[in-house]
A and B are shown apart, each in its own frame.
Chain A
Amino acid sequence: AQTVTQSQPEMSVQEAETVTLSCTYDTSESDYYLFWYKQPPSRQMILVIRQEAYKQQNATENRFSVNFQKAAKSFSLKISDSQLGDAAMYFCAYEAAGNKLTFGGGTRVLVKP
Chain B
Amino acid sequence: NAGVTQTPKFQVLKTGQSMTLQCAQDMNHNSMYWYRQDPGMGLRLIYYSASEGTTDKGEVPNGYNVSRLNKREFSLRLESAAPSQTSVYFCASSEVYGGERNEQFFGPGTRLTVL
Contacts and interface: CB of A to CB of B under 8 A. Distances in A.
Interface of A: 1, 4, 33, 35, 42-45, 47, 50, 52, 91, 93, 95, 98-106
Contacts of A44: 106, 108-109
Given A105-B40, A105-B42, A99 B108 contact: no
Interface of B: 31, 33, 35, 40-45, 48, 50, 58-59, 88, 90, 92, 94, 96, 100-101, 103-104, 106, 108-109
Contacts of B48: 99-100
A98 B104 CA distance: 12
A43 B43 contact: no
A102 B109 CA distance: 18
A35 B92 CA distance: 15
Given A44-B108, A45-B90, A100 B58 contact: yes
B50 A99 contact: yes
A99 B94 contact: yes
A105 B41 CA distance: 5
10 contacts: A33-B101, A35-B103, A42-B108, A44-B109, A93-B42, A100-B33, A100-B48, A101-B33, A101-B35, A103-B42
Contacts of B90: 45
A93 B103 CA distance: 11
A60 to B, nearest CB: 16
9 interchain residue pairs of minimum CB distance: A103-B42, A45-B106, A47-B103, A43-B109, A103-B43, A105-B42, A91-B42, A99-B31, A106-B42
Nearest to A91: B42
A100 B40 contact: no
A10 to B, nearest CB: 11
A50 B103 contact: yes
B75 to A, nearest CB: 19
Contact of B104 (A1, A43, A52, A101): A101
Contacts of A35: 103
Contacts of B42: 4, 91, 93, 103-106
A93 to B, nearest CB: 8
Task: Give the one of A42, A52, A93, A99 with max B CB within 10 A.
Answer: A99
